[in-house]
Amino acid sequence: MTARVFLNGQWLPAEQARVSVMDRGFLFGDGVYEVIPVYSRQPFRLEQHLVRLQHSLDGIQLANPHRLQEWVAYVTQLAGEAEWEDQSIYIQVTRGPMAVRNHAFPREIRPTVVMLAEQMSPPPASQREQGIGAVSAADIRWLRCDLKTTSLLANCLLRQLAVSAGCVETVLFRDGFLTEGSASSIFVVKHGVLLAPIKNHLMLPGITYDVVLELAAQHGLPHEVRDITEAETRDADELWMCSSTKEVLPIVTLDGRAVGSGVGACPPAKRNPGQTESGTPGPGFAKMHAWYQEFKATVMRAPS
Ligand code: PDD
């Protein structure tokens, strides 16, 4: 369920918000977006999300239709009005409508701006406690995965691979290296060290990824940001996925095989769909989950 939506400067009931079928976002996926988590009506890391939005807009050569302060005001208004305390705010900016279908940009650009809030709930306890299953796939996306574009067909196909296998996420490899998940950042833990892939054009610079690395640094968890091979990922002691809406979750099976040394065993009756072998969340995840929850309670819910 959504509250009122913002469309090109107007606040409208969702069912009255209409966009042209000639919109380039609809016909070409020519647009960018952001998903901003809101805790107790406080948008979390709003400025960082808006900086990433600017990076995405620059990457597709689309002028930002609003100044930073205008975005802050709109998001704050939406977060204050929506009926839920915890929300995810979705922002989308497309290159707008065109008179005739033409790949080249129109001479006159009237971007379409949409903003809406949805209720946000933490992932179910079963996913945190028993962990989730993941599958892996070749990263078939383009070479600008650092841009948060609305052209998400490859991500959708990749996520569906996981869902069809009864799993939650698809872990992506490109040329033998870990990139990220279909809609999340992925971390590896090996011998007590947290490993994170280097942010580059092949992955989205995740805001939650930054939080996880900050918490690791703050609590003295050894960590390295470097290229991670597929072999290292498959041989991980622990695998985690994270995103603004899913927080941090432990991946306990990859392609049906238990992640790590199978510390403890997950009995068949307690396994989530897709968990074909035993596998349980590791000790690193338990710590990170606790730190994340503490951070959420103290920092994310506090007015900035
Ligand atoms: N997606 N990588 C990809 C491809 C993503 O789509 C996302 C998040 C992330 C994590 O980024 P962040 O921590 O900033 O949410 C990484 C959002 C939630 C979505 O598309 O709905």
HEC string of the chain?
CECCEEECCEEECHHHCCCCCCEHHHHHCCEEEEEEEEECCEECCHHHHHHHHHHHHHHCCCCCCCCHHHHHHHHHHHHHHCCCCCEEEEEEEECCECCCCCCCCCCCCCCEEEEEEEECCCCCHHHHHHCEEEEEEECCCCCCCCCCECCCHHHHHHHHHHHHCCCCEEEEEECCEEEEECCCEEEEEECCEEEECCCCCCCCCCHHHHHHHHHHHHCCCCEEECCCEHHHHHCCCEEEEEECCCEEEEEEEECCEECCCCCCCCCHHHCCCCCCCCCCCCHHHHHHHHHHHHHHHHHHCCCC
Q: Ligand 1: distance of its center to the CA of 33 in Å?
A: 10
Considering 97, 119, 141, which residue would you say is the last residue of a domain?
A: 119
Query: Do 134 and 113 share a structural domain?
Result: no
Query: Do 181 and 202 share a structural domain?
Result: yes
Query: Do 80 and 184 share a structural domain?
Result: no
Residue with tokens 């999300």: 49
Q: Ligand 1: distance of its center to the CA of 267 in Å?
A: 31
Query: Do 153 and 182 share a structural domain?
Result: yes
Tokens of 143: 């070479």
Query: Do 11 and 156 share a structural domain?
Result: no
148, 190, 199, 246: the active-site residue: 148
Pocket of ligand 1 (CB under 6 A): 35, 155, 180, 183-185, 204, 206-209, 243-245
Nearest-atom index, ligand 1, CA of 204? 2
Query: Do 260 and 158 share a structural domain?
Result: yes
Query: Do 167 and 115 share a structural domain?
Result: no
Closest-CA residue, ligand 1 atom 2, reads 184
The pLDDT of residue 245 is: 96
Considering 119, 146, 162, which residue would you say is the last residue of a domain?
A: 119
Q: Ligand 1: distance of its center to the CA of 127 in Å?
A: 18
Nearest-atom index, ligand 1, CA of 148? 6
Instruction: Report if pTM > 0.85.
Output: yes
CATH of the domain at 67: 3.30.470.10
The pLDDT of residue 271 is: 56
Q: How many structural domains are present in the chain?
A: 2
Considering 92, 119, 146, which residue would you say is the last residue of a domain?
A: 119
Which distant-in-sequence residues (6+ apart) come within 8 Å of 165 by Cβ? 133, 135, 274
77 has pLDDT over 90 = yes
Nearest-atom index, ligand 1, CA of 210? 13
CATH of the domain at 189: 3.20.10.10
| 302: confidence class by pLDDT, cuts 50, 70, 90 | confident
To test the pocket of ligand 1, the residue of 121, 243, 247, 300 to mutate (highest count of ligand atoms within 8 Å of its CB) is 243
Asked if 88 contacts 43 with a C-beta cutoff of 8 angstroms, the reply is no
Query: Do 295 and 150 share a structural domain?
Result: yes
**pLDDT digits 0-9 by tens, 180-213:** 999 999 999 999 999 999 999 999 999 999 999 9
Q: Ligand 1: distance of its center to the CA of 86 in Å?
A: 18
Query: Do 205 and 60 share a structural domain?
Result: no
Q: How many CA atoms lie within 13 A of 246 on its CB side?
A: 22
Query: Do 138 and 95 share a structural domain?
Result: no
Nearest-atom index, ligand 1, CA of 209? 13
The residue-averaged pLDDT of 271-287 equals: 75
Asked about 296 being catalytic, the answer comes back as no
| CB-neighbour burial class of residue 94 (10 A; exposed 0-12, middle 13-18, buried 19+) | buried
Closest-CA residue, ligand 1 atom 16, reads 184
The pLDDT of residue 108 is: 97
2 has pLDDT over 90 = no
> CA-to-CA distance for 13 and 229, rounded, in angstroms?
48
Closest-CA residue, ligand 1 atom 6, reads 183
Range of the domain at 241: 125-300
The pLDDT of residue 4 is: 87
**pLDDT digits 0-9 by tens, 148-161:** 999 999 999 999 99
Closest-CA residue, ligand 1 atom 9, reads 184
Q: Ligand 1: distance of its center to the CA of 99 in Å?
A: 33
> CA-to-CA distance for 102 and 268, rounded, in angstroms?
54
Query: Do 166 and 110 share a structural domain?
Result: no
**pLDDT digits 0-9 by tens, 24-42:** 999 999 999 999 999 999 9
251 has pLDDT over 90 = yes
Can you say how many angstroms the Cα of residue 303 is from the centroid of all Cα atoms in its chain? 23
The pLDDT of residue 8 is: 98
Query: Do 138 and 267 share a structural domain?
Result: yes
Quote the crossing angle between the two packed helices 46-59 and 68-81, to the nearest 10°.
130
